[in-house]
Chain A
Amino acid sequence: MKNQESRSSSCAACKALKRRCTPNCQFAPYFRSDETKKFAKVHKVFGASNVSKILNEVAEEQREDAVNSLVYEAELRLRDPIYGCIGAIASLENKMVELEHDLMLARARLAFCVNQPSSFLNEHGNMAPCVYDIPVASGMVEAFNQNSFSFDQFSHLPFI
């Protein structure tokens, strides 16, 4: 019974490393005993000793954030062994360029509409289609539809 109690109170890190989990174990606050996969990811990518060194460099109140960001980075690296986080950054930067272009187009359109209100209406006095004629290829329509740009991969980002 005593052995079971000590086993069940081991954190996920000490379980994985097959060592006794001490009361002042550095990993215990951040890797609960049921979070074995979470630790496995960071251990595979960074290694337990490197994680420990990184945590030692960081103030205690920021360690939880540091662990969460390491877990997230490890996940991305395991998902994309070539580019890891950098792939995600590159795709976000591409999206940003697209959106800035769309913003420029929107501003130009607004300026045109303000200066020429008749541009809204066609010869029959009905709303001209060009008011809403936003080229899909420019990305503007997609910019409003979050599902088309996969924000899902960032949905469990711990800091948003």
Chain B
Amino acid sequence: MASTRCAACKYLRRRCPSDCIFSLYFPSNNPQRFAYVHKIFGASNIGKMLQDLPLHRRADAADSLYYEAHCRIKDPVYGCVGIINILLQEIYNVQCQIAKIQAEIAFLGTHAQSDQTQYQQLQIAPNLDPNFLSEQKGLSNSFDDSSTWFF
């Protein structure tokens, strides 16, 4: 006669009642799933947690408990919190990269506006020394040939 016990009742070596709270979420074909959650949380805590939830949320809860237990077994010191730490650090790194690029865009924008302002000044005062611009700080790198700028 084939056993119809769920993984939890098999592990706990007991009869699996028809209303067993574990049977839907810990099927007999995946004994590791229950073994992990039992090791970290304990069967009675799992039972209480599932009992406190509405029926339609229990599957998600069982999955998340299994995932947490799995993380804790892999990393007994930090468990899931280790993953959270890594993600927070990665988020911080990407935010810094975005901020740096934003600063570069702003700097280029300021440079472009400053160049435009000086160009307008030269249009107002056409007798100004053509070398005026190239003498300005940083502008000598902006133009390949400052003389052609005015013609």
- Which residues of A are at the interface with B, using a C-beta cutoff of 8 A? 44-47, 49-50, 53-54, 57-58, 62, 65-66, 69-70, 72-73, 77, 81-89, 92-93, 95-96, 99-100, 102-103, 106-107, 109-110, 113-114, 117-118, 120-121, 125-127, 131-132, 140, 143-144, 151, 154, 157, 159-160
Contacts and interface: CB of A to CB of B under 8 A. Distances in A.
A89 B83 contact: yes
Given A82-B53, A83-B60, 16 more contacts: A46-B41, A47-B44, A58-B76, A70-B79, A73-B72, A83-B61, A83-B64, A87-B64, A88-B84, A113-B105, A113-B108, A117-B115, A120-B112, A125-B113, A144-B99, A157-B88
Nearest to A65: B77
Interface string B45-60: 1000100110001001
A159 B87 CA distance: 13
B140 interface: no
Contacts of A109: 101, 105
B21 to A, nearest CB: 15
- Cβ-closest 8 pairs across A and B: A85-B80, A120-B112, A92-B87, A69-B81, A86-B64, A106-B101, A99-B94, A47-B42
B80 to A, nearest CB: 4
Nearest to A134: B102
Interface of B: 39-42, 44-45, 49, 52-53, 57, 60-61, 64-65, 67-68, 71-72, 76-85, 87-88, 90-91, 94-95, 97-99, 101-102, 104-106, 108-109, 111-113, 115-117, 120
A86 B67 contact: yes
Contacts of B113: 120-121, 125-127
A140 B105 CA distance: 14
